[in-house]
Amino acid sequence: MTEPLVLGIETSCDETAVGIVRGRKLLANVIASSVAEHARFGGVVPEVASRAHLEAMQPTIEKALKDSGIKLTDLDAIAVTAGPGLVGALLVGVSAANGLALALDKPLYGVNHLASHVAVDLLTHEAPEKPTIALLVSGGHSSILQVTDLTGDIKSLGQTVDDAAGEAFDKVARLMNLGFPGGPILDKEAKSGNKLAINFPRGLSQPKDMESQPFDFSFSGLKTAVSRFLASTPNYVRADVAASFQEAVVDVLLMKAIKACVDSGIDSLVIAGGVAANSRLREVAQERCASAKIELRTPPPALCTDNGAMVAALGSLAISAGRPPSKLGISATSTLSPTQPLFQ
Ligand code: KG4
Ligand code: ZN
């Protein structure tokens, strides 16, 4: 099956999302978000997310089928995020996928949310036949991966030792009472700010850190530095804080991702996950990759944040690679390493 027709379901956090792909072609991508219900709490409330998924699951599947003009019986396989994420939220998607696979008698592919963030790149760019470095930056994870085969050979070079990059954006936005999720808000705010106004710390980037933990990240010191600055500067300029904070995150993410390319001799970098939608990260990545002669691939911003197309994309890739489907009746798991892309 060279061009498998796959429906992908994503419910790991607050988006109920369904995507349909044929091979590497995107046919539908429908997202129902419960973010507005969480905003007043300043973060995602798991029980609220699970209930919202239950309500949105069926209409979202129906809309994706309608948008693509596909009938359920046309599908070759069902793919679903089986972890990591909020277990109650994941279970809604996994149960729906198990039910669909059973009723339609189609194979089921339980996939890793993190690997699928990287896989979505295949819907908009040519697949490189060579290994690539992936900078995976989302609300729950920040890692540098060496990807030889996205369906089976992924090595973790480093990850955050505390907050994820997206989490740092969300927490800093909360410190400034800017709303949730903070990433897109700070990104917009930073556009009119001076990125050199405040010299915020770059975590784990001192020479001794670059020796011992070259590919690990730390953002909690940065968050504390922003908090102290806000407390000691009553008339702070919001846009300057946003721009200077964003610059510190972008600088350290790219310093380490490019070092991973250089040290491993891999001249290809994919940036994926919600934070990959950040306009400054995309801009600086282009500049630095061009000067380091590294081929850069970033999915379009709308495919960087959680969606079902990325799940379908990894399912499709698994089929093309001849990977066996998961066992029917698979469950969900809240923690899962990005080095394990598929569930058995
Ligand atoms: O991948 P994602 O949608 O969900 C998780 O798997 O966590 O990532 C969500 C994270 C949030 O922390 C959000 O603030 C951040 O991605 N984010 C951004 C931007 N858009 C989303 N961070 C910085 N700049 C953005 N434009
Ligand atoms: Zn995600």
Q: What are the pLDDT tens digits along the chain (344 aa)?
A: 679 999 999 999 999 999 999 999 999 999 999 988 988 888 899 999 999 999 999 999 999 999 999 999 999 999 999 999 999 999 999 999 999 999 999 999 999 999 999 999 999 988 767 899 999 999 999 999 999 999 999 999 999 999 999 999 999 999 999 999 999 999 999 999 999 999 999 999 999 999 999 999 999 999 999 999 999 999 999 999 999 999 999 999 999 999 999 999 999 999 999 999 999 999 999 999 999 999 999 999 999 999 999 999 999 999 999 999 999 999 999 999 999 999 98
Q: How far is the CA of 1 from the centre of ligand 1 (A)?
A: 34
Q: Which ligand is nearest to the CA of 115?
A: 2
Instruction: Write down the pTM of the prediction.
Output: 0.97
Q: What is residue 2's predicted lDDT score, i.e. its pLDDT?
A: 74
- Identify whether the C-beta of residue 188 lies closer than 8 Å to the C-beta of residue 131: no
Tokens linked to 42: 């300043």
Residue whose Cα lies nearest atom 1 of ligand 1: it is 274
**Residue 265 three-state SS:** coil
Mutating to test ligand 1, I would choose from 275, 282, 310 the residue with most ligand atoms within 8 A of its C-beta, which is 275
Intra-chain end-to-end CA distance of the chain, in Å: 20
| β-pairing verdict for 153-159 and 108-112 | unpaired
Q: What is residue 43's predicted lDDT score, i.e. its pLDDT?
A: 85
- Identify whether the C-beta of residue 17 lies closer than 8 Å to the C-beta of residue 308: yes
Tokens linked to 253: 């993410």
Q: How far is the CA of 168 from the centre of ligand 1 (A)?
A: 10
How far out from the chain centre does Cα 316 lie? 18
Which amino acid is present at 37? E
| Cβ atoms within 10 Å, residue 128 | 16
Q: What is residue 128's predicted lDDT score, i.e. its pLDDT?
A: 66
Q: What is residue 1's predicted lDDT score, i.e. its pLDDT?
A: 66
Tokens linked to 218: 């730390």
- Identify whether the C-beta of residue 173 lies closer than 8 Å to the C-beta of residue 179: yes
Tokens linked to 146: 């060496």
Q: What is residue 320's predicted lDDT score, i.e. its pLDDT?
A: 95
Q: What is the Cα Rg of the chain in Å? A: 20
Q: How far is the CA of 231 from the centre of ligand 2 (A)?
A: 32
Q: How far is the CA of 197 from the centre of ligand 2 (A)?
A: 31
Helix (H) or strand (E) holding 79: strand 77-83
Mutating to test ligand 1, I would choose from 113, 137, 138 the residue with most ligand atoms within 8 A of its C-beta, which is 138
Nearest to 248 by CA among 184, 288, 205, 277: 205
Q: What is residue 169's predicted lDDT score, i.e. its pLDDT?
A: 98
